[in-house]
Amino acid sequence: MTNVLILGANGQLARNTTRFFLKHSDARLTLYLRRARRLCNPDPLRVTIIEGDATDPNALKTAMKGQDAVYANLSGAMQQQAHTIVESMHAASLKRLIFISSMGVDGEVPGERYRSVLDPYRDSAAEIEAYDLDYTILRPGWFTHDEEIDYQLTQKGTPFKGHDVSLNSLSDLIVKLVLSPTMEVRHSIGVSRI
């Protein structure tokens, strides 16, 4: 059984991915968020909810004990959060990280010039890539609420294809990445609809 720590667990994508983990795996989940009262526990036998901030190294180190993978779905002070996450993972001898970023952070979207709005995503990705972790950085297109699971991947340095992707597609990919610990290791991948 895989133990997964989900950081930013109240986010739209994280909530959808929690549902996917519970439906498509036997993983045990630790949902980590700033205000725990915002979530109802969807499965008390497999889910633990912890209140904490992703910039708090002591709380993160405690939450990481016994985990097999970390899936981070954050906003705000992203570089500081990324730094705290990777330092805490090292302290916990934890290697597998799935980190949500954004399309455009590498200038890979043809015809688009994203400016400073993406700086937190760029800086956090650079922070993660500087460490010796088994990370996978996901650079998704805009989220849609379509039910389909239909996506394509592009590697860092190649043009991004498309501009959107369903939440279900991303959740499907995240579950696969966590359950296949060698899949796309040390890659930054774009994710969009086929």
- Over residues 144-182, the pLDDT tens digits come to 999 999 999 999 999 988 889 999 999 999 999 999 999
pLDDT in tens, 49-105: 999 999 999 999 999 999 999 999 999 899 999 999 999 999 999 999 999 999 988
Report how far residue 51's alpha carbon sits from residue 37's, in angstroms, rounded to the nearest whole number: 8
Instruction: Give me the mean pLDDT over the 118-135 stretch.
Output: 93
The DSSP code for 184 is T
| pLDDT, mean over the chain | 94
Q: What is the structure's pLDDT at 96? A: 98
56-60 long-range contacts (CB < 8 A, ≥24 apart) are: 56/84, 57/84, 57/87, 57/88, 57/91, 60/32, 60/84, 60/85, 60/88
pLDDT at 114: 67
**What does the chain come to in residues?**
194
C-alpha dist (Å) from residue 20 to 24, 27, 110, 133: 6, 10, 32, 25
Q: What was the pLDDT predicted at 108?
A: 84
Q: Which helix (H) or strand (E) holds 23?
A: helix 12-24
Does pLDDT of 12 surpass 80? Answer: yes
DSSP 126: H
